[in-house]
């Protein structure tokens, strides 16, 4: 089963803004998210297994501020029923999963989320183009989704984020906002890699990076009750887009057989 296409947005929409209250960061300074060690980990992980997990990525303070903003967005009705698409192209709702595709105009409600997004998008494309010559990652277009899984079995079926053209999402970056996560809560990301299946705990300040078109993954059921607000699973996903359509589902990529193993009939 393949995930639906997400419409790309343009970075110009996530520019500097004024705030109704003082933010917990300097809006004129990008978050230093990609030091050399992080770049090396991303390069090695994407090259060998198709994914990379980074703990302590931005900071616990940034993750907590983003969690608070995400909870407010949900509480005030800015998140809506999340849907997926089955193998026949039919849309269906994901029970107890709500999402918002932020458009860059939510600075009063979510300044930290948008500053994080801006910091990623002004640094990650150039980094990826340096690490992987030929990717031609866009410095302007991207896609995003802020999602909450309320519990009571909320999950995501196995899929690749990008089914094929015209969708040009190439790299997925999922940032987790769950400071109260504990074993037994569920909601783990499960990645199907060449060397086996990896289960990733969705703890706060953890970033998962993987090839959007090549790496199959799912999300295990969230086992907490819907009423347990603190245990709800929040994640912000950014999809980075390539300007080179030949990069999508490239049959010459050494990890393409991994995709075919899970989705043999995929284009």
| HSE-up of residue 237 (Cα within 13 Å, Cβ side) | 22
Q: How far apart are CA 124 and CA 42, in angstroms?
A: 11
CATH number of the 36-82+97-262 domain = 2.60.120.620
Q: Which of 146, 144, 153 is nearest to 96 (CA)?
A: 153
Please determine, for residue 262, whether its predicted confidence score (pLDDT) is greater than 50. Answer: yes
Alpha helices in 105-255 (DSSP H): 111-121, 124-131
As a whole-number percent, the residues of the chain with pLDDT over 90 amount to: 76
The contacts of residue 119 (CB under 8 Å, 6+ apart) are: 30, 31, 33
How far from each other are the two terminal CA atoms of the chain, in whole angstroms?
A: 12
Parse the chain into domains and list their residue ranges: 36-82+97-262
Place 60 in a pLDDT band, splitting at 50, 70 and 90: very high
Question: What integer pLDDT is reported at residue 105 of this predicted model?
Answer: 81
Q: How far apart are CA 151 and CA 98, in angstroms?
A: 11
Please determine, for residue 85, whether its predicted confidence score (pLDDT) is greater than 80. Answer: no
Q: What is the mean pLDDT of the chain?
A: 89
Q: How far apart are CA 7 and CA 259, in angstroms?
A: 23
**Lowest mean pLDDT: which of 15-24, 60-69, 186-195?**
15-24
pLDDT, tens digit, 9 for 90 and up, residues 123-137: 999 999 999 999 999
As a whole-number percent, the residues of the chain with pLDDT over 70 amount to: 87
For residues 254, 246, 263, 97, the Cα torsion angle rounded to the nearest 10 degrees is 110
């Amino acid at each position: 089963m393949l995930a639906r296409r997400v419409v790309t947005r343009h970075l110009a929409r996530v520019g500097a803004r004024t705030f109704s209250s003082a933010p917990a960061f300097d809006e004129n300074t990008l978050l230093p998210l990609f030091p050399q060690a992080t770049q090396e980990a991303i390069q090695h992980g994407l090259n060998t297994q198709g994914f990379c997990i980074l703990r302590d990525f931005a900071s616990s303070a940034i993750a907590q501020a983003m969690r608070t903003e995400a909870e407010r967005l949900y509480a005030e009705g800015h998140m809506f029923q999340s849907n997926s698409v089955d193998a026949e192209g039919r849309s269906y709702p994901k029970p107890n999963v709500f999402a918002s595709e932020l458009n860059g105009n939510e600075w009063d409600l979510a300044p930290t989320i948008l500053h994080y997004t801006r910091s990623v998008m002004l640094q990650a494309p150039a980094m990826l183009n340096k690490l992987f010559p030929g990717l031609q990652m866009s410095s302007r277009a991207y896609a995003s989704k802020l999602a909450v899984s309320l519990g009571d079995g909320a999950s995501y079926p196995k899929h690749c984020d990008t089914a094929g053209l015209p969708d040009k999402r190439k790299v997925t970056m999922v940032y987790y906002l769950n400071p109260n996560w504990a074993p037994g809560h569920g909601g783990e990301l499960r990645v199907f890699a060449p060397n086996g299946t990896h289960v990733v705990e969705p703890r706060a300040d953890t970033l998962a990076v993987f090839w959007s078109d090549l790496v199959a993954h799912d999300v295990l059921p969230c086992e907490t009750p819907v009423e347990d607000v603190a245990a709800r699973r929040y994640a912000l996903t950014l999809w980075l887009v390539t300007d080179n359509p030949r990069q999508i589902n490239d049959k010459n990529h050494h990890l393409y057989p991994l995709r075919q193993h899970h989705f043999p009939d995929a284009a």
